[in-house]
Structure 1
Amino acid sequence: MPLSEHTTLRLGGPAARFVLAERPRELVEAVTALDDAGEPVLVLGGGSNLVVSDEGFAGTVVRVATTGRHLDLVGDGVVELTVEAGENWDDVVADTVDRGLGGLECLSGIPGLVGATPVQNVGAYGVEVADLLVSVDVLDRRTRKVNQVPAAGLGLDYRTSLLKGTDSAVVLRARFALRQDGRSAPIRYHELARALGVEPGARVPAARARQAVLELRRAKGMVLDHDEHDTWSAGSFFTNPVVPDTELADVLGRIAVRVGADVRVPTYPGGPGRTKLSAAWLIERAGFRRGHAGPGGRVALSARHTLALTNRGGACTEDLLALAREVRDGVRDAFGVVLHPEPVFVGCRL
Structure 2
Amino acid sequence: PNYAVLSQYYLQTPADLSPNVLKVAQQWTNGATNTYQAMKMLESHLTDPAHFTYSISNPPVPGNIDAVSWLLHTGRGFCTYYATAMTMMARLLGVPARIVNGFNQGHFDAHRKVWEVDGDNAHSWVQVYFPGQGWISFDPTPGFSLDNPTNPQPTQTPGQTPTPARPKPTATATHPTSGTHPTPTSGVGGTGSNTSVLGDTQRQMVFLGISLIILVVALLVLAVAIYRYKFDKLYANASLVSALYWRVSRLASLSGVPPRESQTPYEYTRVLSQRFPRVKEPLWRITHVFVRERWGAQYHSPGAAEEKDIERLWPRIRGTFLRALIFRFHRHVG
Q: TM-score over 0.5 for the alignment?
A: no
Q: Which TM-score applies when normalising by structure 1?
A: 0.24
**Higher strand content, 1 or 2:** 1
Q: Which TM-score applies when normalising by structure 2?
A: 0.25
**Higher helix content, 1 or 2:** 2
